[in-house]
């Protein structure tokens, strides 16, 4: 086994994992040069990061750490403000690690010094509860995002340390974690509480991995294990505040994934972002501790989520009322919530499940969410963001520069800045290719190059540069691909398919070339018949991309009046005139003729139709041109 295949962002002296696992290749070892992700990463670095920071300053989020707010002043620091600054710092650290920038480095140091100045003598760090409600520290974990903010600060501290080697923020958040460890637990005098908005749990695992301090892992495990236990902590906490637990607005602790202990949960419920962060932490703990019961729970929850409550775009959470899940197959298109942060959370969880189990089905969902439900969340210029990602609009839903509740912009920024980590994993002396896209990966002593126009074309050429070495190469066969061919140095081969991967093992030499051709026809995707909004309709998909119709391509016609041709083969793939290298789909379809209906709301007559030229664009690109309507699920020509 070539020892060069295991790489890490930092030296790690932790014990080996008790379960067989894959190790993701750090994003700093992966360079993307494709036409899909590289421009988005550049916009993220050059536009999104400065744009978001400007808004953090403009809204008072950065200055809140000066602790100068006094009662009666306007604009009090909100309970979740600290998390917005922390996520920006995390994104900035990843960006700096990928493309060093002295000015960004200096700005991070400045913000970190400000954060450090706000830390209290006992290690506590939260702007809201220091100056707005100083007497209410840790009194409302259910609602007030206190531990959620702590989690994001910890993630930022770990990211900054890994990117720069500087310990300033890592030491600050470690002191805070020490206070949390002393405050929460089952020992006498400790609080038996846990986060209302999960996030701290996964952050503590990251802190453990960065420092080797097992207390942080144990605290994460405590928070996950204690969740939903009886007597219920949120009941006790509410009564201690003088509140009636029955008056809780959500009516059920399922909103917080805390109705029952986590190992008894079988359905994805409640607030969708919270659930993804909890499930991510559960997967982390299963990996770190070998806890099979946590893994089994995650597998049950995964099957339920992806089989009954996920949009075709990889979006999750259908309702704005609870920012989350409702009931099985309730996936409306026009009123879909599908928060950008929820799709990002699904990417986080899928990546963890993928590397814990080695099963490609998790990469399939990761890819679906990444190319559709996440990529739609930010404009191509990097300065506009969706909070909600519906699958149909009437022309009144558009990206915004920022939000009062601003979780999504810095969240997508930190994902895009660290995108390379999702492309490759190692498993012993095997290299697994999880995602496709032109670029270069340095995996120990092996250099792997992808030459491809993916996702616009299914042909992928992989070039290997290495000293002669025997190792395995696993190529994921996407679930959307029905036909493929593979060759090594021009010789066709048909390798074994294991867990969704084409498995190649041989002695490799510099100059070896693998060509994988994935058939990429336009297909019609149909939803389960219980998805009411999609009955009798189809969604267009080509490769990993879901397509939609948008008003910009159909002037003078409502996209809700357009009808797709009977066969998916009627759609032709063409280059877009609006975006370089983008593949759009064109077909001759139909449109409802509404002439004669001016004075009628109902009629016994079958509506007339006439021919219409249809153009479909990738869903992730909608609302980047002129404002207008959009639709994913299309009625089908039934003639």
CA-atom Rg of the chain in angstroms: 25
CA 283 to chain centre: 15
Tokens of 255: 């909103």
Q: Which residues neighbour 387 within 8 Å (Cβ) at sequence distance 6 or greater?
A: 339, 340, 400, 403, 405, 408
**pLDDT tops 50 at residue 276:** yes
Cis omega before residue 558 (within 30°)?
no
**Distance between CA 234 and CA 192 in Å, rounded?**
10
Return the minimum-mean-pLDDT range out of 1-5, 91-95, 185-189, 312-316.
Answer: 1-5
- Which helix or strand (DSSP H or E) is residue 448 part of? strand 446-452
pLDDT given at position 577: 86
pLDDT given at position 17: 74
What percent of the chain clears pLDDT 90, i.e. is strictly above it?
A: 95
What's the mean pLDDT in 309-329? 98
Q: What DSSP letter does each residue of 560-588 carry, written as one string? A: GGEEB-SSGGG-EEEE-SSSTT-EEEEEE
Which CB contacts under 8 angstroms, 24+ apart, belong to 203-207?
203/150, 203/151, 203/152, 203/154, 203/155, 203/158, 204/151, 204/154, 204/177, 205/281, 205/284, 205/285, 205/288, 206/154, 206/155, 206/158, 207/154, 207/157, 207/158, 207/173, 207/174, 207/177
pLDDT given at position 19: 76
pLDDT given at position 15: 61
pLDDT given at position 510: 98
Query: One of 149, 298, 341, 407 is an active-site residue; which one?
Result: 407
**pLDDT tops 50 at residue 592:** yes
What's the mean pLDDT in 223-248? 98
**Distance between CA 45 and CA 268 in Å, rounded?**
34
CA 427 to chain centre: 23
Query: Is the torsion defined by CA of 528, 263, 421, 18 positive or negative?
Result: negative
**pLDDT tops 70 at residue 170:** yes
On whether the CB atoms of residues 452 and 520 are closer than 8 A, the answer is: no
- 407 catalytic? Reply is yes
What's the mean pLDDT in 535-542? 98
- 288 catalytic? Reply is no
On whether the CB atoms of residues 64 and 127 are closer than 8 A, the answer is: yes
Alpha helices, DSSP H, located in 329-469? 340-357, 360-368, 408-417
**Distance between CA 135 and CA 142 in Å, rounded?**
17
**Distance between CA 621 and CA 379 in Å, rounded?**
8
Smallest Cα–Cα separation from 552: which of 462, 463, 627?
627
409-429 pLDDT per residue, tens: 999 999 999 999 999 999 999
CA 520 to chain centre: 25
Q: Which domains does the chain have, with CATH numbers?
A: 426-518 (2.60.420.10), 523-635 (no CATH)
Cis omega before residue 231 (within 30°)?
yes
367-414 pLDDT per residue, tens: 999 999 999 999 999 999 999 999 999 999 999 999 999 999 999 999
143-152 pLDDT per residue, tens: 999 999 999 9
pLDDT given at position 9: 31
Residues 621, 305, 481: CA angle, nearest 5 degrees: 55
Query: One of 146, 237, 288, 323 is an active-site residue; which one?
Result: 323
- Which helix or strand (DSSP H or E) is residue 88 part of? helix 81-98
pLDDT given at position 8: 35
Q: What DSSP letter does each residue of 528-559 carry, written as one string? A: -TT-GGGTTEEEEEETTEEEEEEGGGSTTS-G
Tokens of 478: 């996407």
- Rounded to the nearest 10 degrees, the angle between the axes of helix 200-211 and helix 272-289 is 30
206-233 pLDDT per residue, tens: 999 999 999 999 999 999 999 999 999 9
**Distance between CA 40 and CA 62 in Å, rounded?**
26
Q: Which residues neighbour 285 within 8 Å (Cβ) at sequence distance 6 or greater?
A: 201, 205, 217, 220, 221, 224, 291, 294
Residues 315, 319, 323: CA angle, nearest 5 degrees: 80
Residue 541, CA distances (Å) to 87, 151, 537, 572, 634 in order: 33, 37, 13, 12, 12
What's the mean pLDDT in 81-92? 98
Q: What are phi and psi of 381, to 5 degrees?
A: -80, -5
**pLDDT tops 90 at residue 324:** yes
Tokens of 153: 């600060």
Residue 450, CA distances (Å) to 216, 411, 436, 491, 541 in order: 39, 28, 8, 19, 23
Q: What are 296's strand-pairing partners?
A: none
Question: What's the mean pLDDT when you consider all of the chain?
Answer: 96
Return the minimum-mean-pLDDT range out of 179-188, 455-464, 536-545, 575-584.
Answer: 575-584
Confidence category of residue 16, pLDDT binned at 50, 70, 90: low
**Distance between CA 187 and CA 68 in Å, rounded?**
36
Smallest Cα–Cα separation from 591: which of 618, 542, 631?
631
pLDDT given at position 1: 28
pLDDT given at position 21: 84
**pLDDT tops 90 at residue 272:** yes
116-142 pLDDT per residue, tens: 999 999 999 999 999 999 999 999 999
Helix (H, G, I), strand (E, B) or coil at 327: coil
**Distance between CA 317 and CA 389 in Å, rounded?**
10
**pLDDT tops 60 at residue 315:** yes
Give the torsion through C-alpha atoms of 259, 262, 266, 270, to 10 deg: 50
Residue labelled with tokens 């990996």: 287
């Amino acid at each position: 086994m070539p020892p060069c295949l295991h790489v890490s962002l930092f030296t790690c002296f932790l014990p080996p994992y008790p379960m067989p696992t894959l190790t993701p290749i750090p994003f700093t070892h992966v360079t993307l040069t494709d036409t899909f992700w590289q421009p988005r990463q550049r916009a993220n670095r050059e536009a999104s990061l400065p744009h978001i920071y400007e808004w953090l300053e403009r809204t008072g989020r950065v200055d809140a750490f000066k602790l100068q707010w006094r009662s009666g002043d306007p604009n009090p620091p909100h309970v979740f403000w600290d998390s917005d600054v922390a996520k920006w710092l995390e994104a900035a650290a990843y960006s700096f690690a990928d493309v060093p920038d002295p000015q960004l480095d200096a700005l991070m140091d400045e913000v970190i010094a400000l954060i450090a100045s706000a830390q209290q003598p006992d290690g506590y760090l939260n702007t809201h509860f220091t100056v707005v409600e100083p007497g209410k520290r840790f009194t409302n974990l259910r609602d007030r995002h206190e531990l959620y903010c702590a989690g994001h600060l910890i993630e930022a501290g770990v990211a900054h340390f890994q990117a720069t080697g500087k310990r300033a923020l890592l030491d600050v958040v470690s002191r805070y974690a020490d206070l949390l460890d002393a405050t929460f637990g089952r020992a006498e005098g400790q609080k038996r509480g846990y986060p209302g908005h999960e996030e701290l749990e996964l952050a503590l695992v990251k802190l453990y991995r960065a420092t080797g301090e097992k207390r942080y892992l144990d605290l994460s495990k405590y928070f996950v294990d204690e969740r939903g236990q009886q007597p219920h902590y949120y009941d006790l906490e509410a009564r201690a505040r003088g509140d009636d637990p029955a008056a809780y607005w959500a009516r059920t602790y399922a909103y917080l994934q805390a109705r029952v202990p986590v190992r008894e949960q079988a359905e994805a419920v409640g607030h969708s972002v919270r659930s993804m962060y909890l499930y991510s932490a559960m997967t982390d703990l299963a990996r770190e501790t070998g806890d099979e019961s946590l893994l089994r729970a995650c597998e049950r929850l995964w099957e339920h989520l992806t089989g009954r409550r996920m949009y075709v775009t990889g979006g999750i959470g259908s309702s704005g009322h609870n920012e989350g899940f409702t009931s099985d197959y309730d996936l409306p298109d026009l009123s879909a919530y599908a928060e950008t942060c929820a799709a990002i959370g699904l990417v986080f969880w899928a990546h963890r499940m993928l590397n814990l189990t080695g099963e490609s089905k998790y990469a399939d969902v990761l890819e679906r969410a990444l190319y559709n439900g996440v990529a739609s969340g930010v404009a191509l210029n990097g300065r506009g963001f969706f909070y909600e990602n519906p699958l149909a609009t009437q022309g009144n839903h558009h990206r915004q520069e920022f939000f009062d509740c601003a979780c999504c912009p810095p969240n997508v920024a930190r994902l895009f800045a660290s995108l390379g980590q999702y492309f490759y994993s190692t498993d012993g002396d095997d290299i697994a290719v999880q995602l496709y896209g032109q670029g270069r990966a340095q995996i120990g002593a092996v250099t792997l190059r992808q030459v491809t126009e993916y996702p616009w074309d299914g042909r992928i050429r992989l070039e290997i540069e290495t000293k002669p070495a025997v190792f395995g190469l696993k190529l994921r066969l996407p679930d959307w691909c029905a036909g493929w061919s593979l060759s090594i140095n021009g010789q066709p081969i048909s390798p074994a398919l294991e867990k969704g991967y084409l498995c190649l093992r041989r002695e490799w030499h510099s100059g070896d070339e693998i060509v994988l051709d994935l058939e990429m026809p336009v297909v019609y995707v149909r939803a389960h018949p219980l998805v009411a909004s999609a009955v009798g309709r189809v969604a267009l998909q080509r490769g990993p991309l879901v397509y939609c119709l948008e008003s910009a391509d159909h002037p003078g016609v409502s996209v809700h009046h357009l009808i797709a041709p009977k066969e998916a083969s009627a759609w032709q793939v063409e280059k877009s005139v609006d975006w370089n290298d983008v593949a759009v789909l064109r077909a001759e379809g139909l449109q409802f003729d509404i002439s004669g209906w001016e004075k009628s709301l109902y009629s016994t007559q079958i509506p007339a139709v006439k021919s219409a030229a249809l153009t479909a664009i990738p869903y992730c690109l909608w609302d980047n041109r002129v404002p207008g309507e959009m639709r994913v699920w299309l009625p089908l020509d039934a003639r």
